[in-house]
Amino acid sequence: MHAVEIIRKKRDGLALERDDVARFVSGATDGSWPDYQLSAMLMATVLRGMTDEETAWLTEAMAQSGARFDLGRLAGRKVDKHSTGGVGDKTSLILAPLAAACGVVVPMMSGRGLGHTGGTLDKLESIPGFRVDLGAREIVDILEDVGCVIVGQTEDIAPADRRLYRLRDVTATVESIPLITASIMSKKLAEGIDALVLDVKVGSGAFMRTLDDAERLARSMVRAGALAGVRTEALLTQMDAPLGRAVGNSIEVVESIQTLRGQGPRDVTELSLLLAARMVLLAGRAASAGDADRRVREALASGAGFERFRRMIERQGGDPEVADEPERLLLAPGREIVRAPRAGYLTGLDALLVGRAAAALGAGRATAEARVDHGVGIRVIATLGALLRAGDPVLELIHRDGNGLADAADLARQAIELGGAPPAPRPLVVGDVV
């Protein structure tokens, strides 16, 4: 009867005890709670919420539901970064080697794309031979040698989260800040890190559409990290338009390489540098924010970050020549230009619709089990604020044999917003939670 009593308490809005939360997570892990009881508890949580204390208990219990990385033999503070997901967000591929070049140990556990948002693992797997399914010993060895590693969640990391997330996805219980917090932070705590930098996206292409919601999520995750002894900071960044000029998998790796060579788009470069500098400061590798910024810019300008990326590819089984010759990442052969329907200033490029267009081409997945086509995607040709004539190119759709092209083109056309005056400047960073 313990499960029913705990569900009833949450349903009635009563505060749970730490043992109640532990029993819930244990039931998800060992199967003693059937799906219908777990689903009832999830729905009660969505409707009644959780206190900061309950959320911290849930996060810690989920982190303890499986194995945890032992990084004790590695000297220095271990720092990770997590993004809540966006369109064209490839900063992890850039900032991890930049921070490593500055002496930070970066164990990064990333995810796959789902829906309109891209996944870091899908991007890296477009590199021939690149492995994201590494064992604990391999992870530590690569961190010792390179300073950074990017891997997927193993079967024994936070297994309670895996079962609960699968249920949340089919029971309309995804949109809960305590549940989102516990899902994200439990996996981060299991990495054995000392500090974490969060990039919480806000806008049309983000899961958090409003600044208020993004701030609530950021504060919840920062508190959960702090209560678990992990120094956590969050930046709130804009996701109304795609980040950079590449949306897809192979094409985003190419843009990441260009950025590490000092030739990337300004927004991608600046956000990557900003997040990497936060990591360097939290790792104690810089005396001040200004010193951290200087160090990561030097790592970019000198090519040290690029060399770390090349070594990470090689150590994770990928073809290191891709870093020198990104054209080895073969893009699909089809090209379709989406043009401005009339004259005007490009005032907006809806990130959600661009992300959905890329997914329609095959760059994303509708279900966790679906496969992606690494070679398809979208190239942004016109920048926000540009004065366009009717028929000027705005987006280039990269497709394979026309698969999904009609739907993608329709979505891409809907994403284009034109006006009679240039848009007001949009700050990349719209908030900060520490």
* Gap between the Cα atoms of 62 and 185, Å rounded: 9
From the candidates 161, 267, 293, 373, give the one annotated as an active-site residue: 161
Give the SS3 label for residue 22: helix
- Spatial CB neighbours of 415, under 8 Å, sequence gap ≥ 6: 349, 350, 353, 354, 357, 395
Number of C-beta neighbours around residue 175 at 10 A: 12
List Cα–Cα distances, 419 to 22, 240, 384, 386, 416, in angstroms.
54, 16, 11, 11, 10
Active site residue 168: yes
Given 83, 183, 186, 256, the catalytic residue: 183
For 391, phi and psi rounded to 5 degrees?
95, -5
Burial classification of residue 205, based on how many CB atoms lie within 10 Å of its CB (0-12 exposed, 13-18 middle, 19 or more buried): buried
- Which position among 187, 278, 311, 315 bears the catalytic label? 187
Active site (annotated) includes residue 374: no
Burial-class residue 209 by CB neighbours within 10 Å (0-12, 13-18, 19+): middle
Active-site annotation holder among 81, 82, 162, 223: 82
Beta strands per DSSP E along 210-341:
231-238, 246-248, 334-339
Catalytic residue among 10, 23, 163, 168: 168
Q: Is 78 a catalytic residue?
A: no
Rounded to the nearest 5°, which phi and psi values hold at 387?
Answer: -90, 115
Q: How far apart are CA 316 and CA 82, in angstroms?
A: 20
| Whole-number Cα distances in Å, 110 to 13, 53, 121 | 34, 26, 6
Tokens found for residue 34: 């059937």
Cα separation values, 412 from 202, 220, 383, Å:
21, 35, 15
**Residues assigned a catalytic role:** 82, 161, 168, 183, 187
